[in-house]
Amino acid sequence: MFDTKEKILEKLFSLERKGINPGLDRIAYLLEKSGNPHKKFPSIHIAGTNGKGSTASLIASVLAEAGYRTALYTSPHIKQFNERVRINGKTIPDDDLIQLAIKYMEIGKSVDATFFEITTAIAFDYFARNNVDIAVIETGLGGRLDATNVIMPLLSIITSIAIEHTDYLGSTIEQIAFEKGGIIKQNTPTLLGKLPSNAYKVLEQICFERNSPLILSDSAIANIIGLNSDYTMQYQITTNTNTYIINSPLFGNHQAINHSLAILAIEKINQYFNVSQQAIYNGVKNVVENTGLSGRFQILSQSPVIILDTAHNPAAIEKLAETSQLVFPNEKFNIVFGAMSDKDVHKMLEIIKNITNLLIITQPSTKRAMTANSIRQIAEALEIPNTVVQNPQQAFEFAKSVNEPFIVVGSFYLLADINY
C-alpha cells in the first residue's frame, strides 16, 4: 500500500480534512475487528479543557517508577506523531506504527473512520500487543463521543472545564461539562479538579445517576513551598492519608492542582497497583524524562530567559501569565505568538497584554492557523506593541537576536514549527 512512514502518515493526516465526526460506532467497529484490544488492559481515563496532559503524564511517570509497564496516550504531538503513543516513555517504533496504520486505515475505509479514531485504535492495539500493566488515556475532544470513550477505566478524571470547542461541545459551561462528563462510568470512581460551580453541579448529577463515587481535588491540600535553585518547584500535597513534599519541573498554582489530582489518583488505585511514596517523588521529579512531556512553562534558557508553553486558550493563557509572575516577579516578556483561527484570540491577547513588551506575531504552518494579519488587527485594537514575522522559525530567531526574555506561546502547532 505504502512503503515509508512519511507516506503512511501523509495518508493518515489526509483524513484530518474530513474534520471531526463525533461518535463511538466507528471506533467500536475498528476495535471489534481486531478482537477488542482496549479490553485487554486496565486504564485511567482523563478529560478536561486544560491540565489533562500534565496530569496524565504525572500519573504515568509515577506508575512507571513503581515498576509497572505503563502506557500513555496523549494528543496532539509536538514534533513527531509517535509521541502520542508511549510505553514507559518510549514512543511507538516506526515499524509498529506503519504496520498498525496500514491495518486500521484499511479496516476504517468501510466506515469512513476519522484520523483520531484510527490513531486511537493504533494506540490501543499497540498497548495490548505489548502487554501493558495499565494505560493512562487522555481524551482528544470532549469525552462523551470521543473515540477514547470505549474503555472501561478503573478511574475517570476531569481536570478542568472552560469554554472551548463550542462548535462540538456546546456554548455554555453546563453543556461542555455534560460532554466531558460522558467519561464517567457506572460504579466507577470519578476524580474532579477545580471546576466552576455550574460545571460541578452537572458532573455531580451524572455521578449520582451512574453510582460513581466522587472524589474532589479539595480532598487534597496543595501548596507551593517555593522555587528551587535548579528551576524546579517544590510543592506540599496533603491528602487524607499522607503529606508529600515533591520537587517538580512543572510550575504554577494550576500545576499544584494537577499534582494533587495525580497523587489522589495514585492513592485511589493503590488497591490494584502498589505505589510507594518514593515512586511518587521520583515519578514527579522525572516526569519529563519518563513521558516526554514538554511545552508546560518549559524554561529553555536562563540567559536570556526563553520559555515555551503550549497554552492555546484563554484559561491556559491566564495560567501562563500568572506563572510567569510567580517565577519571574514583575518581569515583562517579548511574546512570540501564533494561534488557531477557532480560538478566542482577542481574549488571549487581552490577558497576555499585561506581561508583554513586544508581541512578535507569526503564523503556524497549518490550514487551521489564524493569519498573522488577523492577529495583528486584534493586537492593534488592544494597543499592544507588535511586529509580524510570518515564519515561526524566523520569529523565534528574531526573538533570540533581541537578547531579552521571551515566551513562545499560543498553539501546539507553533511549537511544532520551531527548532529549538
Convert the pLDDT of each residue in 24-64 to its tens digit: 999 999 999 999 999 999 999 999 999 999 999 999 999 99
Report pTM. Answer: 0.94
Which tens digits make up the pLDDT trace of 164-194?
Answer: 766 667 779 999 999 999 999 999 999 999 9
Higher pLDDT, residue 20 or 44: 44
| Cα 122 to Cα 130: distance, rounded to the nearest angstrom | 12
Q: Given the DSSP bridges, would you call strands 243-248 and 233-238 parallel, antiparallel or unpaired?
A: antiparallel
Reported as a pLDDT band with limits 50, 70 and 90, residue 1 is very low
What SS3 state is found at 152? coil
- Residue 377 corresponds to which cell in the numbers above? 488587527
Cite the beta strand spans of 208-338 per DSSP E.
Answer: 214-216, 221-227, 233-238, 243-248, 298-302, 305-308, 333-337
Pair 75, 123: CB distance under 8 Å: no
| Cα 342 to Cα 155: distance, rounded to the nearest angstrom | 31
Whether the per-residue pLDDT at 21 is higher than 80: the answer is: no
Which residue type, as a one-letter code, is found at position 35? G
Higher pLDDT, residue 34 or 2: 34
Q: Map out the domains of the chain with their CATH numbers.
A: 5-291 (3.40.1190.10), 298-416 (3.90.190.20)
Whether the per-residue pLDDT at 201 is higher than 60: the answer is: yes
Nearest CA-CA partner of 379 in 349, 410, 337:
349
Spell out a b/e string for 352-363, using b for 16 or more CB atoms within 10 Å of the CB, else e: bbebbebbbbbb
| Cα 148 to Cα 183: distance, rounded to the nearest angstrom | 9
Pair 142, 165: CB distance under 8 Å: yes
